[in-house]
């Protein structure tokens, strides 16, 4: 509690995003695996996804998104008390990727740790940050979702390689006695689905070996039918419970920002909540599924495009391996115009993650992608680009 006995609340004061310049289109995938643009779009809604360059890592993407969020918040990096980074693709098993981001952004004092809840990771980290703030332990918390999934895909498996992409998003949560900010939070885990989305090898149960590599056990595996069934059910129920805990009704929510996995899932959630798709923010057509990064990237885009205004109620909801799910309802209190200025203030080339001395990785780009990424022509597609001839996106553009 503050001196005036007003409760401490966690407000989103900064937001930022980063997407690699490399683009992998459905047409590219047609050259790699037995699939087609029509098949992918009709079943997932995905048209392209971003691919990190060889010199980019989860930490480097996270650091850029973090600096943009910090600049948007109007604070210094050293004002951050805690750094929480949600990812299932850390740079290393140790140290934490959050620790690498701390150094890259120039913070000297924050605690830093990773959060492992797969695609729900950002919402889980957001909930953790809220707890630190409302308890009075922290004043400013940096919450990041970052993934480099394209290095964990089997490009002969058309059921998974078409789905995922790379990127990072971040928010700053700050303590305030003002009304608004984070309201109701709902988190669940259903371990009966633990092996429906998983990486079989690489952990203590099955450490890396020549045999695990030969069996392809370091690639993402997913049971699509079971995952779809769980996701459509749990995202709606989790979102509803978050809204209920906030003392609101679904009709009070101005915008839902769901995990960007599959447009069919998003449509099913909208139907389950008896809401039009116009209340669902969708950008998966350009990014695919970026796991823990999907919600913060979508949030940053939605705010910067003018879809979120001061006083709006928004719900962020996700599901992921585990099976995990999480939702948070937020009353928005920050000036949306700050986001674009914060993004423009940070050049990705100015943010560097320190590499280990006398060691370097082998070329991290999967061989199946090397030729495609080396093709001539511009690949630096603007984040707000819409390819001519595409169906109109499910959100409006800012004019002026």
Coil/strand/helix, residue 337: coil
Q: Choose the catalytic residue: 107, 259, 313, 395.
A: 259
> Given the structure tokens 């809401």, which residue do they identify?
275
φ, ψ dihedrals at 289, nearest 5°: -90, 110
- Report the C-alpha dihedral over residues 209, 215, 218, 222, rounded to 10 degrees: -150
Q: Choose the catalytic residue: 26, 107, 289, 304.
A: 289
Q: Can you state the angle between helices 37-44 and 263-272, rounded to 10 degrees?
A: 20
Q: Which of 285, 250, 243, 238 is closest to 264 using CA atoms?
A: 285
Per the structure block, which two tokens stand in for 329? 């309802």
Cα–Cα distance, 261 to 181 (Å, whole number): 26
Coil/strand/helix, residue 74: coil
Helix or strand holding residue 323 (H, E): none
Residue 119 catalytic? yes
Q: Choose the catalytic residue: 11, 107, 119, 140.
A: 119
For 238-261, give the DSSP string.
HHHHHHHHTT--GGG-SEEEE--S
Residue 289 catalytic? yes
Residues marked as catalytic: 119, 259, 289
């Amino acid at each position: 509690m503050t001196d005036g006995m007003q409760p401490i609340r966690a407000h989103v004061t900064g937001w930022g995003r980063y997407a690699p310049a490399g683009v992998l289109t459905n047409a590219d995938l047609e050259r790699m695996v037995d699939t087609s643009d029509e098949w992918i779009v009709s079943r997932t809604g995905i048209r392209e996804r971003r691919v990190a360059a060889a010199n980019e890592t989860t930490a480097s993407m996270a650091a850029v998104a973090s600096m943009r969020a910090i600049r948007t918040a109007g604070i210094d990096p050293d004002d951050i008390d805690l750094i929480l980074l949600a990812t299932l693709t850390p740079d290393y098993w140790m140290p934490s990727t959050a620790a690498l981001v701390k150094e890259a952004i120039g913070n000297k004092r924050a605690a830093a740790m990773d959060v492992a809840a797969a695609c729900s990771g950002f919402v889980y980290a957001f909930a953790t940050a809220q707890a630190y703030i409302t308890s009075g332990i922290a004043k400013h918390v940096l919450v990041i979702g970052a993934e480099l999934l394209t290095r964990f895909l089997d490009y002969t498996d058309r059921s998974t390689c078409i789905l995922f992409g790379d990127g990072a998003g971040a928010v700053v949560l700050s303590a305030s006695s003002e009304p608004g900010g984070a309201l109701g939070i709902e988190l669940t885990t259903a371990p009966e689905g633990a092996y429906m989305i998983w990486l079989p090898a690489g952990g203590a149960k099955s450490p890396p070996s020549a045999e695990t590599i030969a069996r392809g056990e370091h690639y993402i595996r997913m049971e699509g039918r079971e995952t779809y069934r769980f996701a459509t059910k749990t995202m709606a129920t989790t979102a509803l419970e978050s809204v209920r805990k906030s003392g609101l009704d679904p009709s009070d929510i101005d915008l839902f920002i769901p995990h960007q996995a599959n447009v069919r899932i998003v449509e099913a959630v909208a139907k389950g909540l008896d809401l039009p798709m116009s209340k669902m923010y969708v950008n998966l057509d350009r990014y695919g599924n970026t796991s823990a990064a999907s919600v913060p990237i979508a949030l940053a885009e939605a705010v910067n495009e003018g879809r979120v205004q001061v006083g709006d109620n928004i719900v962020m909801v996700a599901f992921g391996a585990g099976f995990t799910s999480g939702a948070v309802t937020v009353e928005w209190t920050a000036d949306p115009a700050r986001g674009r200025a914060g993004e423009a203030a940070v050049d990705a080339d100015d943010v560097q993650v320190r590499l280990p001395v006398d060691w370097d990785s082998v070329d991290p780009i999967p061989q199946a992608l090397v030729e495609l990424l080396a093709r001539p022509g511009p690949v630096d597609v603007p984040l707000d680009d819409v390819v001519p001839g595409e169906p109109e996106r499910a959100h409006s553009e800012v004019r002026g």
